[in-house]
Amino acid sequence: MVSVLESILTQNQTLVDALKDEASYLLERQKHTRYQIIGRPKKVRRILIHEAAFLITVDAKNKLQVWPKYSVYIEDGMIKDVFRASQKKIPDKKIDLFYDASKRGGVVITPGFINGHAHPPMYLLRSSMTLDKGNVVDQVAKMAKLENQMTSDDFFLSAVGDFTEEQKHGITTTLSHYAVFEAVEKAAKLTKQNVINAVSAVSNSHPKNSPAMVERILKKRKNYFSTPAIAIHYLHRATPVQLKQIKQLIKKYNVLLTMHAAETESWVGECVSKYGKRTVEALVDLGLASSNVILSHAVHLTDEEIKLVKKYQIGIVHLPTSNKIHKSGEFRYPLFAHYGAEKQIALGTDSVISKNALDLLSEALQTRIMHQQAHRVLYEDLFKMLTSQAADILQLKNVGRILPGYRADLAFWKLRDRGFVPYNESKPISLVGNMITHGGRNIRDLMINGEFIIANRLHNVINESKLMSELQAAHMRLRERLKE
């Protein structure tokens, strides 16, 4: 019998041995593919994900399920069937691509995660907020100076960097909030990320933006890869006339409006001096309170405002890491739960200057830690915030669950990973807690709209190594331009 110790040792005991073995290791790895094309399909339309070790999803009754040994059958980007692998066999003639999720410890499948708040064109600014000394206000001012130097090529490259980092962390849908539209559209199309492209109708950095400009985009919405929506930086930055125009656009095109809301008490003060009321009360007065409105941060809300959030079914995006980094204050999660508005909360990454990595599992962990003294946010509720609940808030009809009729946006995670192991095999729900408490990790494969975007940990569209070189060069050019 092999002892525990023997079974975990490598065959090589030193680096020199390991290097000699490298070539055979690489050959061995090539044999590790889970992908098999069947026949000679002109297009890969029909995919069988065979026998995932576990499939984690919220079901049709809104209950979180962890199903062992399940298969998923996909046709033209949509999930057709979800079934226990032992109960059904799909004939080979109905399969173009076979993905074996059972072997070598198996794969865990979850819905692709949904990011409720991001600024993808700011990705080039990562290092601008990591200065060790100086205060945060100076840093933000410095960051804005760099941002002012950015070109549309920079915005595009940034968004590619942002979306691909999100994809590595299992995120397949992103609400982008920024002042430019085309660069985000182009990056979404290239990386195949599902993007709600909310463009500022009122912007300090882009004074030419206006409700009329946003309407020109909305009119052509069917021609775009991304889904256009409306953004405003803060309520108090917009005039009553502009807000009236925005209200008409929401009604005419049934689109989402997103804004930063009550991030700090001083922003609330600005809102009070302009509109005579605090954020949510002002939104109600202005006729803008509805389920088409998504508020990010929403830190400084009163009890009355939280009740209004519930009454008008306003969507909320909680950003605990960003709130900590910017010393914004503490989101009142316990009160949202008290007033029954906690099902209207999704999570977001914000930009790289407000968060460590563009990952939502670590944001779920932050949520758990931030509120645990006053209120325990259950792992199953955190998982819903990343998937089904976020889809409801962003009004995405068939996204965020692995069920027939849903879009095939799937994240594939290796089961034999420190993010899962060890877990209780008789209660596999413990996988969800493990996944969240471990924090961020990379996916093995990623499918968006029925297409593998990442396979065997490599992006199929973007050469990540070259992308890093381009981002680095663009960042330094930005710093050079600031000096001139």
Residues that bind Zn ion (CB under 5 A): 350
Query: Which of these, 316, 333, 428, lies nearest to 377 by C-alpha position?
Result: 333
Q: What are phi and psi of 426, to 5 degrees?
A: -85, -10
Q: Which residues contact 291 (CB under 8 A, 6 or more apart)?
A: 312, 313, 314, 315, 395
Is the CB of 178 or the CB of 413 nearer to Zn ion? 178
**CB 115 to Zn ion: min, Å:** 12
Using CA atoms, how far residue 322 sits from 162, 180, 349, in Å, is: 16, 22, 8
Is the CB of 191 or the CB of 351 nearer to Zn ion? 351
Is the CB of 56 or the CB of 230 nearer to Zn ion? 230
State the alpha helices, DSSP H only, in 169-278. Answer: 182-191, 211-219, 240-253, 265-275
**CB 253 to Zn ion: min, Å:** 23
**CB 163 to Zn ion: min, Å:** 16
Query: Which of these, 184, 185, 179, 196, lies nearest to 159 by C-alpha position?
Result: 184
**CB 225 to Zn ion: min, Å:** 23
DSSP line for 269-338: HHHHHHHSS-HHHHHHHTT--STTEEEEE--S--HHHHHHHHHTT-EEEE-HHHHHHTT-----HHHHHH
**CB 442 to Zn ion: min, Å:** 24
CA distance 168 to 164: 6
Is the CB of 65 or the CB of 323 nearer to Zn ion? 323
For the chain, the first-to-last Cα distance in angstroms comes to 71
CA distance 75 to 81: 9
- Residue 407 β-bridge partners: 78
Is the CB of 115 or the CB of 362 nearer to Zn ion? 115
**CB 383 to Zn ion: min, Å:** 23
Is the CB of 350 or the CB of 363 nearer to Zn ion? 350
Q: Which residue is nearest to Zn ion (CB)?
A: 350
Q: Which residues contact 245 (CB under 8 A, 6 or more apart)?
A: 201, 211, 212
| Cβ pair 102, 51 in contact under 8 A | yes
Is the CB of 147 or the CB of 350 nearer to Zn ion? 350
- Residue 71 β-bridge partners: 83
**CB 260 to Zn ion: min, Å:** 6
**CB 189 to Zn ion: min, Å:** 23
Burial 52-73 (b: 16+ CB within 10 A, else e): bbbbbbbeeeeebbbbebbbbb
Is the CB of 65 or the CB of 200 nearer to Zn ion? 200
**CB 477 to Zn ion: min, Å:** 25
Is the CB of 342 or the CB of 350 nearer to Zn ion? 350
